[in-house]
Amino acid sequence: RISAAFFDPSARSFPARGWPLLEVLGHRIAKSAVVGLWLIIVTAAAASTLVPRLREHCASLWTTALAMALGPAIVVTLKDLNAYRCPWDLVQFGGVAEYGSGWFVSKINAGRCFPSGHAAGGFSLVALFFAGRALDHPRLQRAGLAAALGAGCVFSLVRVAQGAHFLSHNLWSAAIDWCTAALVFVPVMIAPGTDEPPRPTSAHAGELDTNAKSAVAGWRRIRLATTCSLKGLRAVWCREAAFRQEVVASALLTPVALLAHVTPYERCALFLSLAFVLVVELLNSAIEAVVDLASPGRHRLAGIAKDAGSAAVLLSIGMAAAVWLTILSASH
């Protein structure tokens, strides 16, 4: 019904689609402005290792850049995987196509419309809100949330008026951007400190019911393991540039794996090879941290341990590259 309000039945078209000013300002320039802001953030993140004032914000800058890019990248990837059409393509709105639905269709049958890519660009500014949360900066939180809602709603209205998207397409883009940014910022926002389970102090603590004690300990162990894992991810993300680069590379390769014409097992192998590189990098970071703590004097064996960890990372990258080249070359 909302799309129908912008449709002219007599002309069998969406009048706003032919407004040059709306197309230039509301579509092209608006999209370029978001891309320009993203490039500024990436530039600041790259310069953070050289500029002392930015150095302490290095992790937050890289995380913001990743969150802003990953949400729209997921949206663009999903557009090629479903058969949902744009309003202007449908017969009832002057087009030639029937309403389609369904997922994982062939590229020829893909609607390339759902979710909305333009709205995803506007709503991607929600990464600034999460950056404010990570930095404990209330003003940045409010500005980021206002920018995301403002830009996202305006971008959505423009494309709905032009007949390019239904309202639901834009709402899904907002949800994807929000969830993606929230997940990306989890390692950065985990509070420092320990979360160890309390030790019994009473003289009769050993007389507690064994089954109840085991159940509580089991849940505490799960919670503690989850918290420690997230803290470890945060520490590696903040301190290891190599890990951040590998995460960004994996994010960029994800659409390629999703769009490749391969079997489900081959697609799974592509993703597992990327995950394998990240796991090896995490282990290498742990080895380097332990070696630096145990051998501040740079013992010869400490150097060997670090070199071995680096070699493991190099081999994992080589194995991942071999998997990708083998699968993708066989698919063509």
Active-site annotation, residues: 281
* Whether the Cβ atoms of residue 188 and residue 60 lie closer than 8 Å to each other: yes
With DSSP H G I counted as helix, E B as strand and the rest as coil, what are the percentages for the chain, rounded to 5? 75, 0, 25
Distance of CA 175 to the CA centre of its chain: 12
Nearest to 279 by CA among 321, 309, 304, 324: 309
Torsion angle (degrees, nearest 10) of CA 221, 190, 126, 183: -30
Query: Rounded distance, CA 27 to CA 118, Å?
Result: 8
Nearest to 157 by CA among 125, 192, 116: 116
For residue 322, what is the enclosing H or E element? helix 300-331
Query: Rounded distance, CA 27 to CA 274, Å?
Result: 35
